[in-house]
Amino acid sequence: MKRKSTLTLAAAMLVLLGAAVSCGSADDTQTAVTTEAMKSAETTEAVTEDVYPYETPDMGGYALRILNSDDLWDMFMKVDVEETTGEVLNDAVYARNRAVEEKLNCTFDVTLVDIAGAGNDIAVMTKVIQETVLAGEDLYDVMYSSVYTTPAMVTDGYFMNLLDLDGLNFGEVWWDPIVAENATINDCLYFATSPMHLMSYDSTWILFFNETMMDKNDMEKPYDMVRNGTWTYDALLGYCKAITNMNGDASFTWDKNGNAVYGISAHSNCSDKFILGAGEYYIDKGKDGSLTFAATDERFHNVLSKLAGILDLSTGYTIYGSNTDFDADLGGYVYVFSVGRALFMTGEIKAAQELRDMNDTFGIVPYPKYDESQDSYYHSFVSQCMYYTVPVTNTHLTETAVISDYTSYLSYRDVLPVFYDNVVEQKGLRNEDSIEMLDIALSTETVDLAFLFGWSSSLVDTIRTNLFKGQTDYASTIEKQKKSIDKKIDQTLEAIENTKANS
Rg (CA), the chain: 22
Rounded Cα–Cα distance for residues 28 and 111 (Å): 44
Pairwise CA distance, residues 177 & 26, whole Å: 19
CA distance 41 to 18: 9
Q: Which residues pair with 441 in a beta bridge?
A: none
pLDDT of residue 120: 61
pTM: 0.83
The Cα angle at residue 168 between residues 166 and 169, in degrees rounded to 5: 110
Q: Where are the beta strands (DSSP E) in 164-285?
A: 205-210, 262-266, 283-285
Domains 2-202+383-443 and 205-380+456-481 share a fold: yes
CATH 3.30.930.10 assigned to 2-202+383-443: no
pLDDT in tens, 142-159: 999 887 777 888 888 899
Cα–Cα distance, 430 to 158 (Å, whole number): 44
pLDDT of residue 322: 74
Where do the structural domains in the chain lie, given as residue ranges? Answer: 2-202+383-443, 205-380+456-481
Q: Cα-Cα-Cα-Cα dihedral of 180, 185, 189, 192, to 10°?
A: -40
Q: Given this model, what pLDDT does residue 23 score? A: 32
Query: Which residues of the chain have a pLDDT value below 70?
Result: 1-50, 116-122, 423-430, 503
pLDDT at position 219 is: 97
CATH architecture, domain defined by 205-380+456-481: 3-Layer(aba) Sandwich (3.40)
Question: Are residues 17 and 443 in contact, defined by beta-carbon separation less than 8 angstroms?
Answer: yes
Cβ of 266: how many Cβ atoms within 10 Å? 29
Q: What pLDDT, on the 0 to 100 scale, is given for residue 39? A: 31
User: Which residues share a beta bridge with 402?
Assistant: none
**108 by DSSP, 3-state: which?**
strand
Q: What is the pLDDT of residue 425?
A: 62
| E strand or H helix that includes residue 89 | helix 88-104
Rounded CA gap, 447 and 380, in Å?
6
Phi, psi of 24 (to 5 degrees): 150, 180
Q: Residue 44: its pLDDT value, please?
A: 33
State the pLDDT at residue 116. 63
Confidence at residue 499, expressed as pLDDT on a 0 to 100 scale: 77
